[in-house]
Amino acid sequence: MLRLIAAAALIVPLAAQAQQTIKIGVLLTLSGQFADAAAQMDNGIKTYMKQHGDTVAGKKIEIIRKDVGGPAPDVAKRLAQELVVRDHVDILAGFTLTPNALAVADVSAEAKKFMVVMNAATSIIITKSPYMIRTSVTLPQVMETFGTWAATKGGLKQSYTMVTDYGPGHDAEAAFTSAFKAAGGSIVGGVRFPVANPDFSAFVQRAKDLAPQSIFIFIPGGAQPAALGKAMAERGIDKKQTKVLGSGETTAEAALKAMGENALDIITAWHYDYTMDNPLNKAFVKEFNAMHGRNPDFFSIGAYDGMHAIYETLKKTKGKTDAEAMIGAAKGLKWQSPRGPMMIDPETRDVVQDVYIRRVQKVGNDYVNVPFDKIAQVKDPAGERRKQK
C-alpha cells in the first residue's frame, strides 16, 4: 500500500513536467579542504555554458549543484540518490574526489544514469558503472608516460620518489616507478610524507643525503608545492645536478607564484596548462578571466570538457537522456579541446589525450610551464592492462 502511494507520488510530477529540461546533478566538494578545486570546476562549467548557451537539442540545461564537503562517500551516495529520486536528474556529473566518484558510480549503475567524471583521477573508477565516462585525466596515464619518458628521452638513470602518503600518492608512485624501471631506470629510494604535512625539510634532507640524479614528487595542490619548493631551495638542491620531476599539480599557478625562482627548471608531465598556445585555449582563458577574475587550471578544463561531452552526446541522441542511448553516443566521441585533441575511448569509456612534458621557465615577469615535448593520444595504461585480463 505504501509502495503504491510512493509510486503514485512519483508519477504525478513526472507527467506534469513536460520534459523540456535536462537536469544535470553536479556533485562537488564546494566546502572544506578541496573547496578551491571544486570552485575551479564550477567555474569551468559556467564558462562553457556562457560560451555555448544553455540549450541543447531543443532542451534547456539545468544544473543542480550539491556540496559533498570533502571525501565523504556516504554523503556523496545519499546526495546522488536524492538527485535521482527527488530532483529527477538525467545526468550525474562533477566528482572532485575519488571516494565520492566510486560511491556515486553505484547509484549510476543501479538507477541507470549517465555519469561524467570531471576530475577524480584514480584509474579503477571507470569500471564501476557502465554508463560512466571521464573527461579529466588518470594518474597512470600521466605518470607511467612520464616514467617512460624520463628513462628514455629524459636521459635519467636514477630517481628518488617523494609522494604524499595517500591513495593518489601511492598510485602515482607505483605508476612512475613501474614505467621508469621498465624503461631501464632504477629507483634509489623513496619517502612518503603525511597528508597535511606543513614542513618538508627533513624529507628533503634525506633525499639530498642520497644525492640522486633525479627526484620525483607527487603532492596535492594547495600550500604544499610551494612549501616543498622552498624546502628544496633551503636545503640546497641544485636543479642542474638533481633533476626535479613532478606532476602538474606541483607547478600549478598558485604554487609557481609562491615558489618564485625556486620553481625554475622543474620538469612536469601534465595534460593542461592555462598558458597553452592555441586559439581555443586563448578564447577559453579570456572568457574565464572575464567571468571569474582568475586563470583556469586542470580542474576547470576537466569540467569544461565534461560539459562539452554532455552537449555533444545530447546532440547525437537528439536530446534523449536514457543512459543506454547516451553512453552509446559518448563512446568514441572525439573533439578538439583547449588542451588539444581528446577522445572518449570506445571500449573503456575513459579519457584519451596528449600528455605534455614541460619545464618551468621565466617568461617575462612570471614563471610558467613551457612545454617542450609531447606524447600523443595516450590511453590509460591501467585500463589497457585490465582489458587483457
Contact 119, 41 (CB under 8 A): yes
Give the binding range for another protein (CB under 8 A) out of 102-110, 177-185, 239-247, 321-329: 102-110
Q: Which of 69, 94, 229, 296 binds another protein (CB under 8 A)?
A: 69
Q: Alpha helix locations (H) across the chain?
A: 2-16, 35-52, 73-85, 98-111, 139-151, 167-182, 201-210, 224-234, 253-259, 279-292, 298-317, 323-330, 381-388
Contact 339, 79 (CB under 8 A): no
Amino acid (one-letter) located at 11: I
- Is residue 205 exposed (0-12), middle (13-18) or buried (19+ Cβ within 10 Å)? middle
157 versus 170: smaller Cβ distance to another protein: 170
166 versus 181: smaller Cβ distance to another protein: 166
Q: Is 31 in the site for another protein (CB under 8 A)?
A: yes
Give the binding range for another protein (CB under 8 A) out of 76-84, 136-144, 276-284, 312-320: 76-84
* d(C-alpha 200, C-alpha 38), whole Å: 26
In angstroms, give the least distance from the CB of 88 to another protein.
10
Which residues ranging from 233 to 272 are in contact with another protein (CB under 8 A)? 233-236, 254, 257-258, 260
Which residues ranging from 131 to 170 are in contact with another protein (CB under 8 A)? 165-168, 170
234 versus 324: smaller Cβ distance to another protein: 234
Residues paired with 351 in a beta bridge:
344
Q: Is 89 in the site for another protein (CB under 8 A)?
A: no
**Binding track, positions 165-204, relative to another protein; x by CB under 8 A:** xxxx-x--------------------xxxxxxxxx-xxx-
In angstroms, give the least distance from the CB of 213 to another protein.
19
Give the binding range for another protein (CB under 8 A) out of 14-22, 34-42, 271-279, 359-367: 34-42
Q: Which of 32, 53, 341, 346 binds another protein (CB under 8 A)?
A: 32
Which residues ranging from 350 to 379 are in contact with another protein (CB under 8 A)? none
Q: What nine digits make up the cell of 279? A: 586559439
Contact 275, 246 (CB under 8 A): no
Q: Which of 35, 33, 60 is nearest to 49 (CA)?
A: 60
Q: Is 222 in the site for another protein (CB under 8 A)?
A: yes
* d(C-alpha 233, C-alpha 208), whole Å: 11
235 versus 331: smaller Cβ distance to another protein: 235
Q: Is 319 in the site for another protein (CB under 8 A)?
A: no
Contact 300, 42 (CB under 8 A): no
Kindly report the number of other CB atoms within 10 A of residue 110's CB atom: 11
Give the count of residues interacting with another protein (CB under 8 A).
75
- Residue the block writes with cell 640524479: 213
**Binding track, positions 277-306, relative to another protein; x by CB under 8 A:** -----------------x------------
